[in-house]
Chains A and B, each alone.
Chain A
Amino acid sequence: MLEVKDLHYTYSTGLEALRGINLTINNGEFLAIMGQNGAGKTTLVKHFNGLLKPTTGTVLVDGINTRDVSVAKLARNVGFVFQNPDHQLFSETVEEEIAFALKNFGFEESVVTKQVDWALNLLDITEYRKTSPFMLSGGERKRVALASILAWDPNIVILDEPTIGQDYQQKEKLQQFIMQLNAQKKTVVVVTHDVEFVAECNPRVILMSKGKILVDGIAEEILTDPKTLIQASIVPPQITQIFLALTDLGLPSNVIDVHEATKIILNRLRGKL
């Protein structure tokens, strides 16, 4: 469980990035954090694995105050995948990259090998195991970064903009995969701008703006409320945009899913087709 109590964070430059965040994320929950650039999303999640410590307030990970433990210690439970994979990757080959943390955690060689194979396969990068991460495309590097975290099977997985640079098929896979992680009762926290991705996963969503939480609810409510979304620089999903433009014809405004949209339109036309 992640508990954030009255968290304020000010960077050394004087920039007040977080201004009083209160948030509880329960075990097994799937949360998407959305909001405008500079709203404090990444600053917030960097507190979840102790990369940043609160200026004031507290962050508890499974009851442990992040001030009292090292990032390395928290990392066993909290896996963090950075927005920019280049901030994370450093090894000579993909395989070594994925094995690195496992070795550091002191897993046996046979376990390391097994987990590396599993993660390579999971992220569809087995063919690159002997390749340098820096020879790969942006989207592929992102998957290497993901694989290297998931390999040690943390309970809480934090993904900062996981869909960036991913093509459609990889995104679909990633989405299924995130849902699957969540189905295994892992806590998943995703920072994302990708409204279509959030619309398809329908997780709990918080919208952030200027270092504060604007609103907290389920995707279906939040993504269909254009007045609140605009404050966080978010544009509704395409399906919602269509329905919002047709409310004068009596269509509902809270639709995010293409299948539901199809059903509603066909119902309206029943007997006329």
Chain B
Amino acid sequence: MILQNCNKLADHTLDVITTKNLTYTYPGASKPSIQDVSININKGDFVILTGPSGCGKTTLCRCFNGLIPHFYNGTLDGEITVANLSVVSHKIYELAQHVGLVFQNPENQLFALSVEKDVAFGLENFGMPRDEMRKRVDWALQMAGISELTERPPHELSGGQQQRVAIASVLAMQPKIMILDEPTSFLDPLGAEKIFDVLNNLNKELGITIILVEHRLDLAAKYANRVVVMDKGNVALAGTPREIFTSEKARLIGVGIPKVTKLYQHLKKNGLKLRNVPVTTQDIVNLLREILKDA
């Protein structure tokens, strides 16, 4: 199902992000919000970007799609390329063909008079033929679970519904890189899981690079191959979910270790060491089953 309408995504050679000593200061701010960030995101990665509130995650995401420096002004130093394009010398609309950003607050993103128009807006700007646009919009609405909201004005919807509209409007563009800033914060748990499943499918089946800003690692860990931890405007740690969840440094920074991994740690402290560090509930269920079945 997810593969339909996606034949235009064959070229994945461009979907990569590289920054080198990236430093940015908002206009009027006394100190940089991100400082000397050097990071490589590979094509096909599913990255969770996490770290304490105010550590610069959202600022970094705004650099990835060119909102910084083109919209926010301020002072940007260092290098950043997205899909082989220098962010500084390419306009937002050029970058938007490769990278889609779902904002933390959906109200900052929605503006049209109907859900459908909001979701179609980006495609219209690309001059997509009407038939194809129709298909894309329907697909995106269905993926985000809001087909029944097509005609509703976005500003009348609940926070969770608005968040789905914001996700659908980026999904419709089928960018090679999707950046989502706490995209499910207003959603009920089942709704959040469905959105994560959609992202996971886009990532695994179509090779779309996903960058997910998320505090709730309990929910997101099973989908990601990398976790990047930011602290005080810097990248403090990067690794696989397993590496990060068992890292003392991550704990000290205040990364929320999933309950699954916590249970592992509590058991270990009490003398029961499972033979592997679990990251998902399925991991620990399998490990516990092995040792409990004979007990």
What is the interface of chain A, defined by CB distance below 8 A to chain B?
Answer: 13, 35-38, 42, 83-84, 86, 135-140, 161, 164-171, 193-196, 230, 232-235, 237-239, 241-242, 245-246, 249, 251, 258-259, 261-262, 265-266, 268-269, 272-273
- Max chain B C-beta neighbours (<10 A), residue from A35, A42, A261, A272: A261
Q: Are B159 and A84 in contact (CB under 8 A)?
A: yes
Chain B residue with the shortest CB-CB distance to A200: B259
**Residue B270 CB within 8 A of the other chain:** yes
Q: Are A232 and B188 in contact (CB under 8 A)?
A: yes
Q: How far is the CB of B14 from chain A (nearest CB, A)?
A: 30
**Residue B54 CB within 8 A of the other chain:** yes
Q: Please judge, given known A-B contacts A137-B58, A167-B53, A273-B271, whether A234 and B190 are in contact too, CB under 8 Å.
A: yes
Q: How far is the CB of A224 from chain B (nearest CB, A)?
A: 14
**Residue B122 CB within 8 A of the other chain:** no
CA distance A171 to B53 in the complex (A): 10
Q: Are A167 and B52 in contact (CB under 8 A)?
A: yes
**Residue B292 CB within 8 A of the other chain:** yes
**Across-interface contacts of B53 in A (CB, < 8 A):** 137-140, 165-167, 170
CA distance A273 to B285 in the complex (A): 19
**Residue B18 CB within 8 A of the other chain:** no
- Max chain A C-beta neighbours (<10 A), residue from B189, B258, B293: B189
20 further interface pairs, Cβ-Cβ under 8 Å (given A139-B54, A233-B188, A242-B263): A83-B159, A84-B159, A86-B107, A137-B53, A140-B54, A161-B185, A164-B185, A165-B185, A167-B51, A167-B52, A168-B52, A168-B254, A169-B254, A193-B187, A195-B189, A235-B189, A235-B193, A249-B293, A258-B266, A265-B267
Which 4 A/B pairs are nearest by Cβ-Cβ distance? Answer: A168-B256, A37-B160, A139-B53, A169-B254
**Across-interface contacts of B267 in A (CB, < 8 A):** 262, 265-266
**Residue B186 CB within 8 A of the other chain:** yes
**Across-interface contacts of B1 in A (CB, < 8 A):** none
A-B CB contact pairs (8 Å), 24 listed: A35-B188, A37-B188, A38-B158, A84-B107, A138-B104, A164-B182, A164-B185, A164-B186, A165-B215, A167-B254, A169-B52, A169-B254, A170-B52, A171-B256, A193-B192, A234-B189, A235-B189, A235-B193, A241-B281, A242-B285, A245-B281, A251-B292, A259-B266, A273-B271
Q: Please judge, given known A-B contacts A13-B156, A135-B29, whether A234 and B188 are in contact too, CB under 8 Å.
A: yes
Q: How far is the CB of A137 from chain B (nearest CB, A)?
A: 4
CA distance A238 to B282 in the complex (A): 10
Q: Are A238 and B218 in contact (CB under 8 A)?
A: yes
CA distance A193 to B292 in the complex (A): 32
Q: Are B292 and A239 in contact (CB under 8 A)?
A: no
Q: Are B26 and A135 in contact (CB under 8 A)?
A: yes
**Residue B32 CB within 8 A of the other chain:** no
**Across-interface contacts of A261 in B (CB, < 8 A):** 263, 266
**Across-interface contacts of A38 in B (CB, < 8 A):** 158, 160-161
Q: Are A233 and B272 in contact (CB under 8 A)?
A: no
Q: Please judge, given known A-B contacts A36-B190, A249-B289, A262-B270, whether A238 and B281 are in contact too, CB under 8 Å.
A: yes
**Across-interface contacts of B284 in A (CB, < 8 A):** 242
**Interface membership of chain B positions 206-219, coded 1 if the CB is closer than 8 angstroms to chain A and 0 otherwise:** 00000000011010
Q: Please judge, given known A-B contacts A138-B58, A239-B263, whether A269 and B292 are in contact too, CB under 8 Å.
A: yes
**Across-interface contacts of A266 in B (CB, < 8 A):** 267, 270-272
Q: Are B258 and A235 in contact (CB under 8 A)?
A: no
CA distance A184 to B285 in the complex (A): 40
Q: Are A196 and B259 in contact (CB under 8 A)?
A: yes
CA distance A253 to B29 in the complex (A): 52
CA distance A249 to B50 in the complex (A): 36
Q: Are A246 and B285 in contact (CB under 8 A)?
A: yes
Q: Are B293 and A138 in contact (CB under 8 A)?
A: no
B189 contacts which of A83, A165, A168, A233 (Cβ < 8 Å)?
A: A233
Q: Are B54 and A237 in contact (CB under 8 A)?
A: no
**Residue B105 CB within 8 A of the other chain:** yes
**Across-interface contacts of A136 in B (CB, < 8 A):** 54
Q: Are A269 and B291 in contact (CB under 8 A)?
A: yes
**Across-interface contacts of A237 in B (CB, < 8 A):** 259
Scan residues 153-179 of chain B and give those whose CB is less than 8 A from a CB of chain A. Answer: 156, 158-161
